Amino acid sequence: MLRAPSSTGGRHKRRTGRGRNAQAVFGCRSQIGLYIIKRVKESGAQGKKEEQENRKETVTMLGAVVVGIGTAGWVRIRDMLAPVPGSPAEKLAVRGFISRRSLDSQQGVSQISVEAAISREDIHVAFICTENVSHEDNVRMFLQAGKHVCVEYPMTMNHKAAVELYGLAEEKGVVLHEEHIELLTEDYRELKRTVAGKVLQKGSLHFTGGALKPGFGFLAFSGIARLTWLVDLFGELSVTAATVEEDVSRSYSKMTATLLTSDNRPLVWIEERGPGLPRAKNINFHFDSCTLTQLPPAPRAAVGLFMQDLIHFSAKLANQVDPKELQREKVRILHCLELAQRIEQLCQS
Ligand code: NAD
């Protein structure tokens, strides 16, 4: 039986070095996601028996808090309450949520204060699901407190801050994970399979969607999911030009960025937002052998996207993810943020 620790139990010792804190919390690599509170009551056979019983019952969990109760925050709570059986996400237990508003309990989970979340020893993990502009401060605050962090993309609104946050996570020995559900969609997986082995000549990705909500930042950051597709498909990119058109009175904006692949193939990325615009991705990729003008059809995934991301994050907490993959992810995330910042600079100049 799995049982959450009491708030006085299950203290985890801080160690230095990336991933060691996760390892301390979980006990050891081979016992994924588990740490056991030893309650040695007395010596002798009876004591041993009781201890064995307690061991069975006190498999503890990683307590989590969700910051920001919008669409993403609500889904995070839902997924932690009903994780995929047998997955490492089962080791997460949601202990509360934080909101600027004063709210009733959500899905049976109570609101708690920032101070409580920071100081409680039974809270080890924070999910940052606020508007983009407040991600950086929230991530920093929880990392400083020695908590693992999962932040919805984009982690920050500038490259330098993200480098600092990764450094802070390393210093504290905790996991810093940025959600990228766009890479987990069946549409994207199918596109990636289709593109594999083809040589790009030129291409474009034009995203349209409804007006941007306040607090979601400049288009290159709010739309970083599209940039992440391009980098994941075609490798490292550079920015050669970028412009933005804005009509504040109509809540309309359009950004056009020209990118180059490492072998000098041009890619155009357009983000266009405004009331009534359909949410759509239009692609036009010319390869040596064919042209792709539509996303290849793909079935819907059996497991939801946020749940897939939750499993990936909790696998990181359990030290189940290859360090080389972690490094690749970090390099990709920082590269995309650097490109987004360069695009913003060019649009402003
Ligand atoms: P949303 O507007 O529905 O929710 C944001 C919530 O955060 C609001 O309820 C707001 O009150 C709250 N909030 C803002 N600042 C806060 C603070 N300082 N403390 C506590 N609460 C605060 O937005 P959303 O769609 O849920 O998006 C949230 C994040 O998730 C964004 O970064 C977005 O890029 C990312 N994301 C969302 C989706 C999605 O499908 N909705 C998908 C991928 C990524």
Which residue CA neighbors atom 23 of ligand 1 most closely? 70
Beta bridge partners of 36: 59
255 burial class (0-12, 13-18, 19+ CB within 10 angstroms)?
Answer: buried
Probe ligand 1: pick from 130, 179, 224, max atoms within 8 Å of CB? 130
CA 70 to ligand 1 centroid distance, Å:
5
Q: What is this structure's pTM?
A: 0.84
Question: Which of 69, 71, 77, 151 gets mutated to test ligand 1 (max ligand atoms within 8 A of its CB)?
Answer: 71
pLDDT digits (tens), the chain, 349 positions: 222 333 323 333 333 333 333 333 333 333 323 322 232 333 344 444 544 443 433 357 999 999 999 999 999 999 999 999 999 999 999 999 999 999 999 999 999 999 999 999 999 999 999 999 999 999 999 999 999 999 999 999 999 999 999 999 999 999 999 999 999 999 999 999 999 999 999 999 999 999 999 999 999 999 999 999 999 999 999 999 999 999 999 999 999 999 999 999 999 999 999 999 999 999 999 999 999 999 988 898 899 999 999 999 999 999 999 999 999 999 999 999 999 999 999 999 9
The rounded distance, in Å, linking the Cα atoms of 127 and 104 is 19
Residues at CB less than 6 angstroms from ligand 1: 67-73, 98-100, 129-132, 134, 152-153, 181, 213
Expressed in angstroms and rounded, the spacing between residue 213 Cα and the centre of ligand 1 is 10
The preferred substitution site among 118, 131, 149 for testing ligand 1, maximizing ligand atoms within 8 Å of CB, is 131
